[in-house]
Structures are given as C-alpha cells and as structure tokens.
C-alpha cells in the first residue's frame, strides 16, 4: 500500500509519516518536485533551516516523476510505503487511479499551526514570523492561483484535523484510527452495497425523505429502487403528492401518500422469481411496517439498513417472526476526523509516561518538527 500525506504548513504530515514508519513498518518514498517551487515555499522563516539526518533522502526511493514512482510501488504494493510529496493535481490524478493508494489530508487550526511554527523557529534560533506573515504564507500555500495546494487536500479519502498539542496525543489518536486498515483501500461488500443504496437515494424525488435500496443475490445486484411517485405521474418534488408537500409530520396520513417506497420499487423491479432464497436487501433507512411485510412475503433472507426509523422495533418483530435477519451497518463516516476527539483505547497517556519516555518523545518530537515541513524547507537548500 501507498499512503500519501498532504496538508497545510505545520499540520503534521511528517509527524504522521514518521509514526507510520516507526509503528507500522512503512518506508518513505520521495518524488521530485514537478513544478517550479511557489515563491511562498522558498522559506518559512526567510532563513535557512537545516534538515536532519533522519530526513535525508535515500536515492533508492526517490523518483523523478510520478510514473516512475508508481512503477516501483506497483511491483511492491504489498509492502508499506508513505510519501508527503503531493505536489500538484497531476500527481494526485495518477496516484488516485491505483487501488493500493490512499490520500490522507491533515489540517489544523491556523493559530495552532502558527504556534508550532514559532516553536520550530525558536528551536533553531530563528526569528519566527508574525501571525500576519504566517497568514499570508498560509494563504499563498493553499490558495495561490495555479500553485495553491488547498484544492488537492479536498480530494483526500480521509481528512484529519490535527489540533493535538503533543506527539504523544497524536500517536494515541493515530493508533486508534489504524491508518493501514485495508478496508480504507477497498470497501467491504456491506460498504459497497450500502453506498450503492445511498447513491440510489440521490435519485429520490420524495419531499419527505431520501431513501435508496438495493436487492442483492450472491453478491450481484438484482435491482435498485428509490422513493417517489409512480411512473407517468408528476414527481413528488413537483407537487405530485399533496401529502408529502404539506407539512404533515413523519408517519401521519401515510394512507394518503402517493409515493412508492424505495423497497417497494426495488422489489417490484426484481420480481419474486429473481429474488429467490438468498437475497439480501440493503436500504439506507430501516424499512417501515408496510415494506417489512412485503419484504417477508417475497422471500428476502436478510435486511441490512444504515439509519434507524421510528418503527424499528415493530419492524424487527415482523422480521423476527417471519425469519428475516435484520442487521444495522453504518459505513465509515466521511468528512473531517478530529484527532483530538478520537477516544484512545490503548493510549500512551502523557500523565503516565515516565520521565525517560517524555525526554525521548520530546527529542523525537523536536526532530520531527523540523522534518514536518521539510517539503516546505527543502527548496531553499537547492
Ligand atoms: Zn413523497
Ligand atoms: Zn407522499
Ligand atoms: Zn416503506
């Protein structure tokens, strides 16, 4: 696998890369810059900041372009590789095509990143930038026309918010997050079918709730469905169902509703013969009572849902009695993951670390602080 880390100045890219190297047997891989260095990257502090031994690039694992890098990793994709050299859109396009690649972005509050940067400058006896200078650098780094990297970060499959204040708490959060989990690279069957159900829900025209459904038999999709008014009738969102377009509360006046439910549409589409004995119905919402009895009657063997609905208990009773398995599955949440909010299971707590451990961690953290933005610093030593 190859994990690409991208993110703002002092967001923590290199700290995460070092964590992966030390704790998960990753190896660092480098990519030469693909374009002229943006002026803003020339110096973080308008002064030379030396890199560390630990940051030295092994020629063996440095590549002139992304294709050469990919050729190398493709032959070794079962090994673990990490890079922070996400330079531009072309690099991201090429990497994201591959099934062994995961793009992770890391960001942090501007004020926190400024504090980290100041600490780094102070360590190196350099004059730290003012907040205003740092804001301007940050803006140029992310938003400069043509060279700003902000848009790339939005394409990350996993987005991390790193406002942690110590390397210990960062490690503890990363440990709980388990970045190398293979499920991040390729969805499980449950995740795959639930995402298809979510996609179907996007076609819904019902004013009340977007519901999507997929009927699957032996891992093959038999039919899909979403809720809305029947064919040839005006769509619900164009006024087709007076009940849905009135502010009636959920569950009230259901008998006057003209909208077919997603499950009904999927079952009608599949037909009883094709459903057979081993079919599973995936739905983004737990089926209502009237759908439940139809699901039971048509011979579905298992129902997997994501979000609950107000009659879940009653639905569960119907399924239990009729021998249909009912199971909730929620795909991993998308969007920003705040590392400071991740509950740590086997956390290395600051308060219990020995003095020796603290000293060691401080030393590693100081080195990493320098490495953290080696991308940012490297150009001035060329
Ligand atoms: Zn409707
Ligand atoms: Zn309706
Ligand atoms: Zn229903």
- Cα separations (Å) of 169 from 164, 181, 191, 314, 344? 6, 20, 30, 44, 9
Rounded to whole angstroms, how far apart are CA atoms 200 and 202?
A: 5
Helix, coil or strand: residue 315: helix
Q: How far is the CA of 239 from the centre of ligand 1 (A)?
A: 9
Largest Cα–Cα distance in the chain? 77
User: Quick one: which ligand is closest to 241's CA?
Assistant: 2
117-155: per-residue pLDDT in tens? Answer: 999 889 888 899 999 999 999 999 999 988 889 999 999
Q: Which of 345, 362, 344 is nearest to 353 (CA)?
A: 362
- Span from the CA of 305 to the centroid of ligand 2 (angstroms): 22
Catalytic residue among 32, 133, 263, 302: 263
Q: How far is the CA of 68 from the centre of ligand 2 (A)?
A: 56
Tokens of 48: 């030379």
Encode pLDDT of 16-65 as tens digits: 999 999 999 999 999 988 665 554 444 443 333 333 334 444 567 999 99
Ligand 2 centre to CA of 252 (Å) is 10
Which residues lie at CB < 5 A from ion ligand 2? 241, 243-244, 257, 259
Instruction: Please state the separation of Cα 209 from the chain's center in Å.
Output: 25
pTM (2 d.p.): 0.76
Give the chain's count of helices (H) and strands (E): 15, 13
> Which-ligand-closest: CA of 267?
3
Dump pLDDT digits (tens) for 286-309.
Answer: 999 999 999 999 999 999 999 988
**For residue 215, how many other CB atoms are within 10 A of its CB?**
27
The CA 250 to ligand 1 mean position distance, Å, reads 11
Which ligand ends up closest to the CA of 208? 1
User: Rounded to an integer, what distance in angstroms lies between the CA atom of residue 106 and that of residue 7?
Assistant: 5
Q: What is the pLDDT of residues 205-241, one digit of tens each?
A: 999 999 999 999 999 999 999 999 999 999 999 999 9
Q: Which two tokens stand for residue 205?
A: 């025209």
**Which residue reads 């009695």 in tokens?**
321
Annotated active-site residue 263? The verdict is yes
Sign of CA dihedral 255, 257, 261, 267: positive
220-226, strands of its sheet edge to edge: 220-226, 212-217, 279-285, 302-307, 325-328
């Amino acid at each position: 696998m190859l994990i690409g880390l991208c993110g703002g100045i002092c967001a923590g890219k290199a700290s995460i890369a070092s964590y992966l190297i030390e704790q998960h047997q990753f190896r660092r891989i480098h990519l030469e810059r693909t374009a002229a260095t943006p002026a803003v990257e020339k110096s973080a502090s308008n002064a030379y900041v030396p890199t560390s031994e630990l940051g030295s690039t092994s020629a063996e694992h440095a590549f002139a372009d992304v294709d050469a890098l990919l050729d190398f990793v493709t032959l070794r994709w079962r090994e673990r590789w990490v890079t922070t050299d996400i330079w531009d859109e072309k690099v991201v396009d090429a990497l994201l095509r591959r099934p062994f690649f995961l793009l992770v972005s890391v960001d942090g509050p501007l004020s926190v990143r400024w504090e980290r940067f100041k600490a780094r400058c102070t360590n190196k006896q350099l004059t730290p930038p003012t907040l205003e200078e740092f804001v301007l650098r940050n803006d140029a780094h992310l938003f400069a026309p043509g060279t700003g990297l902000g848009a790339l970060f939005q394409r990350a499959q996993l987005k991390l918010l790193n406002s942690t204040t110590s390397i210990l708490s960062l490690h503890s959060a990363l440990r709980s997050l388990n970045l190398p989990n293979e499920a991040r690279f390729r969805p499980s069957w449950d995740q795959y079918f639930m995402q298809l159900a979510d996609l179907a829900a996007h076609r819904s025209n019902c004013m009340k709730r977007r519901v999507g459904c997929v009927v699957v038999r032996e891992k093959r999709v038999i039919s899909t469905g979403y809720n809305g008014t029947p064919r040839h009738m005006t769509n619900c969102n164009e006024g087709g169902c007076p009940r849905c377009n009135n502010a009636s509360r959920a569950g009230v006046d259901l008998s006057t509703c003209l909208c077919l439910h997603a499950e009904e549409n999927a079952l009608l589409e599949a037909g009883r013969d094709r459903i057979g004995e081993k079919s599973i119905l995936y739905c983004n919402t737990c089926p209502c009572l009237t759908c439940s009895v139809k699901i039971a009657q048509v011979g579905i063997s298992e129902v997997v849902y994501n979000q609950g609905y107000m009659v879940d208990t009653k639905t569960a009773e119907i399924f239990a009695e009729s021998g249909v398995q009912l199971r909730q599955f929620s795909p991993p949440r998308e969007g920003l993951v705040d590392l400071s909010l991740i509950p740590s299971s086997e956390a290395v707590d600051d308060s219990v670390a020995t003095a020796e451990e603290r000293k060691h961690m401080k030393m590693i953290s100081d080195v990493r602080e320098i490495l953290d933005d080696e991308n940012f610093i490297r150009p001035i030593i060329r």
